[in-house]
Amino acid sequence: MSLYRRLFKKRIVASALAASALFVACAQPPVGYYNAAEGLTGLPLRIALHNIIDNHSALSYNDLWSAFQSTDKTPANKVWDIYSDVPGGSAPYIYSFGSDQCGEYNSEGDCFNREHSFPQSWFNDGSPMVSDLFHIYPTDGWVNNKRGNLAYGDVGSADYTSQNGSKTGLCVNPGYSSTVFEPIDAYKGDLARSYFYMLTRYYGETSGWSSPMMTAGDLAPWAVNVLLAWNDLDPVSPKEVSRNNAIYALQNNRNPYIDRPEWVHQVWDASSGVAEQETGAFRVWTDAHGLHVILDEVATGNTTLNVLDLAGRAVVSRSLSANETTVPLSLAHGHYLARVSLGTNQRTVQFVW
């Protein structure tokens, strides 16, 4: 990353954090809730947050309809639909709880349903993910259907646009070129922080998940870049703070990236991971001979190393049979991810070659 881009990004992040500081001060995690995460960065921080928010009180899928009445109500006690709302303007239609839930729909504005922002098919309809409110929102049924299980991303030329400006079209973000769904700017940060929550709350449980936004059981680098940009574009709002508190009352866990927005970049920013060469499971460094890997655990028959580029493509794969290994690299110089799988456990660091 160039010096200009680093400085520009720092200004964006600083502005985003400053803008959200007033709202976040209203969040209400219990005293000491995040003590185990304080002072950590990178993967250790993510693991500590996982341990804090794990094993929440799961709702039934049918409970979501009534839950929305506390988690997603507007000041006028109507449904807060992020796919139809027009902040600062007039929404094209407004739903009431109970009477307007889907049901049948034939066009936009007919009824609202339960939108899994992280689609159910991506986690094989598993529980408790299927009813985890931190990624489920009430949205117009027609627009929800248009989104389907598309990845989120930035659209170039739209092939569909909803009445509030949400749209589908080919992705213009580097690393992915298929059709994506792009919400309006006012809710991009909400959805980004929902995704960071999902990959933190379910850390260690995602190896069987399949998504165009994931690779090898974790967010793909291209998706991380998009979500970080969306997070910075749309800082934490009073709506999110209120929603976080309401979900905590129901599920007994929180989204730490709403309570502590600075943790988004401390966990997910790839550039900060360059200096973080140690995961607690293995260490890496490079020299003229290639990539050196030292495992802190005994290598087994199913211990593997995958080197990924920042688009999430595996460029080197090999089994590791010794605790110290040197892997020759014939790669273009740049940033890469080293991902070691030890049985069912995975650890990842970024390195520069």
Sign of CA dihedral 269, 271, 277, 282: positive
In terms of domains, do 286 and 265 share one?
A: no
Q: Concatenated DSSP letters for 137-153?
A: EEEEHHHHHHHTTPEE-
pLDDT at res. 210: 94
Domain boundary among 206, 241, 272: 272
In terms of domains, do 164 and 180 share one?
A: yes
Residue 4 located in a structural domain = no
Q: What confidence tens digit (pLDDT) does each residue in 282-296 have?
A: 777 777 788 888 877
pLDDT at res. 33: 97
What is the DSSP code (8-state) at residue 72?
A: S
Residue 45 located in a structural domain = yes
pLDDT at res. 287: 77
In terms of domains, do 201 and 81 share one?
A: yes
Sign of CA dihedral 176, 180, 184, 187: negative
Which CATH number belongs to the domain containing residue 291 in this structure?
A: 2.60.40.3080
What is the DSSP code (8-state) at residue 279?
A: -
pLDDT at res. 302: 75
Domain boundary among 210, 245, 272: 272
- Average pLDDT per run of 10 along the chain, which is 353 residues long? 38 42 58 94 91 97 97 97 95 96 95 98 97 98 98 97 98 96 98 98 93 93 95 96 97 98 90 40 77 74 78 79 85 79 71 72
* Closest by CA position to 178, among listed 158, 159, 151, 209: 151
Residue 233 located in a structural domain = yes
Residue 5 located in a structural domain = no
| Number of structural domains the chain divides into | 2
pLDDT at res. 239: 97
* Closest by CA position to 94, among listed 114, 68, 112, 107: 112
In the three-class reduction of DSSP (H, G, I as helix; E, B as strand; rest coil), residue 296 is classed as coil
In terms of domains, do 340 and 256 share one?
A: no
In terms of domains, do 153 and 223 share one?
A: yes
> What domain range includes position 308?
274-352
pLDDT at res. 191: 98
Residue 2 located in a structural domain = no
Q: Concatenated DSSP letters for 201-230?
A: HTTTS-TT---TTEETTEE-HHHHHHHHHH
| 345-352 β-sheet, strand order | 314-319, 303-308, 335-342, 345-352
pLDDT at res. 20: 41
pLDDT at res. 322: 78
In terms of domains, do 111 and 156 share one?
A: yes
- Tokens in use for 192? 């980004």
In terms of domains, do 52 and 201 share one?
A: yes
Q: Contact, 135 vs 166, CB < 8 A? A: no
Q: Which residues pair with 351 in a beta bridge?
A: 336
Domain boundary among 247, 272, 297: 272
Q: Which residue has the tokens 């940060």?
A: 189
In terms of domains, do 75 and 190 share one?
A: yes
d(CA 30, CA 284): 38
User: pTM above the 0.75 mark?
Assistant: no
In terms of domains, do 108 and 43 share one?
A: yes
In terms of domains, do 136 and 212 share one?
A: yes
Residue 1 located in a structural domain = no
pLDDT at res. 270: 55
Residue 203 located in a structural domain = yes
In terms of domains, do 291 and 267 share one?
A: no
In terms of domains, do 65 and 208 share one?
A: yes
Residue 209 located in a structural domain = yes
